[in-house]
Structures are given as structure tokens and as C-alpha cells.
């Protein structure tokens, strides 16, 4: 299983949108690769509908979605057609899934990413989420049990937070939302700590020597 900071494993795979070659096909983009236990399951259906309705929101953040389960391409297609033609959930209907869903019958991709966990199931991928940056580095990993659906708003929030941290060299506090104040990285020495507290900067305020924040306009 790749860890945070590792290069994401490369793979070629057959999907509902044709063959993909990761990471070559996704250069310069953030990628969310998420696995689900099986097609035609209720929790997965709600997740796919939610991700599909948010796809353009993710694309606006230079982020692409890739789904995966240990099912055939034919099962994927039949399930996605059923979602579009029959399923109405929380006001979502006629939902078309336009991101690729990987066929992984031999579990090649799932095993590379540690998505199959024997104590959960020998034959199903758990609800894993891998977030990769434009350099194909693993930046975040989330795991959910088979019984509980993911929070897509939190996944989007985390993408936003990581992108802001990269762009501005800052950290984000607990429950951060866009527009909230951000944390300035802590000082590396006593001298710089004293200087930080005493130096005035527009929008900066310190709660203590180790904890300074910057207001957001």
C-alpha cells in the first residue's frame, strides 16, 4: 500500500470510459481514486450519484475522479444505466456517471493500492480514497468500512485545503472552510519565534509564540 508522500502506483486499466493510463493521462491534475465494494449495492449507489453530481465542482479544482470495483465492465455499465434510468435519491435523478470506473476483476489495481483487506472481505475492495497531486504523489488517504458511505463534501474540502497549503505555504486548522483564517507554519528556532511574535504583518495575529494565524480577506 502506498503511503502519503509516495509516488502513486502506475497502472493501465479498462474502464467505462475506455482505457486509462495512470499517471500519464492525468499529468498536471489532481486525482481522486476511490474504490467501492461492488456494483448494484445501495451505499455505493448513493456515493456514485453524489460524486457524479459534483464532478464539475471537482473539475473546477483541476481534479479528476476515477472509480474502481472488482466487477466486470459489463456489470459497471448495467449498474450505471440503472442509476440513470431508475434511481431517484435526495433530489438526484437521471444521474449520468461520466467519470471512468475501472474493471478490476483480477484485483491488479486494488492490490497495488491496498484496497482489499482480508479481514473486511476477500473479494471486495473497501471504501478507500486516494488523493494524488499533479506530480502523482499520494497526498491523502481515507478508509471507510463497507457499511458506511463517504462524505464527498469533506473530500472536496480536503482538496481545497491541500491546494491552498501548496499555494501559500500555510496550514489549515480543524474544520477549516474556504475563507477561514489559516495557520502560519511554526518557527524553527527561539530567535525566529520571538521575531514572529513581535513582527507586525497585515492580517497576522498570534495566540502564542508557536501559533500564529493569518486573516483571510
Q: Is 214 annotated as a binding residue?
A: no
Active site residue 44: yes
Contact (CB, 8 A) for 146 and 124: yes
**What is the layout of strands, in order, in the sheet containing 204-208?**
182-184, 211-214, 204-208
Which three-class secondary structure state does DSSP give residue 69? Answer: strand
Contact (CB, 8 A) for 13 and 109: yes
Number of helices and strands (H, E) in the chain? 6, 10
Cα 95 from Cα 184, distance rounded (Å): 42
- DSSP code, position 12: E
| Binding-site positions | 127
Residues that are catalytic: 44
Q: Which residues are annotated as a binding site for substrate?
A: 127
Amino acid at each position: 500500500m502506498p503511503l502519503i508522500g509516495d509516488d502513486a502506483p502506475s497502472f493501465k486499466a479498462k474502464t467505462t470510459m475506455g482505457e486509462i493510463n495512470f499517471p500519464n493521462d492525468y499529468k498536471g491534475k489532481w486525482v481522486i481514486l476511490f474504490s467501492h465494494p461492488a456494483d448494484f449495492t445501495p451505499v455505493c449507489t448513493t456515493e456514485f450519484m453524489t460524486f457524479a453530481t459534483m464532478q464539475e465542482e471537482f473539475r473546477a479544482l483541476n481534479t479528476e475522479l476515477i472509480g474502481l470495483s472488482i466487477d466486470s465492465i459489463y456489470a459497471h455499465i448495467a449498474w450505471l444505466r440503472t442509476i440513470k434510468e431508475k434511481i431517484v435519491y435526495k433530489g438526484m435523478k437521471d444521474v449520468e456517471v461520466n467519470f471512468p470506473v475501472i474493471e478490476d476483476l483480477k484485483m491488479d489495481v486494488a492490490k497495488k493500492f491496498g484496497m482489499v483487506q482480508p479481514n473486511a472481505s476477500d473479494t471486495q475492495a473497501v471504501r478507500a480514497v486516494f488523493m494524488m497531486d499533479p506530480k502523482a504523489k499520494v497526498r491523502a488517504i481515507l478508509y471507510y468500512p463497507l457499511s458506511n458511505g463517504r462524505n464527498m463534501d469533506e473530500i472536496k474540502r480536503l482538496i481545497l485545503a491541500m491546494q491552498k497549503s501548496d499555494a501559500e505555504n500555510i496550514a489549515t486548522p480543524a474544520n477549516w472552510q474556504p475563507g477561514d483564517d489559516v495557520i502560519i507554519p511554526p518557527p524553527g528556532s527561539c530567535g525566529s519565534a520571538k521575531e514572529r511574535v513581535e513582527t507586525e504583518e497585515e492580517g497576522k495575529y498570534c495566540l502564542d509564540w508557536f501559533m500564529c494565524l493569518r486573516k483571510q480577506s
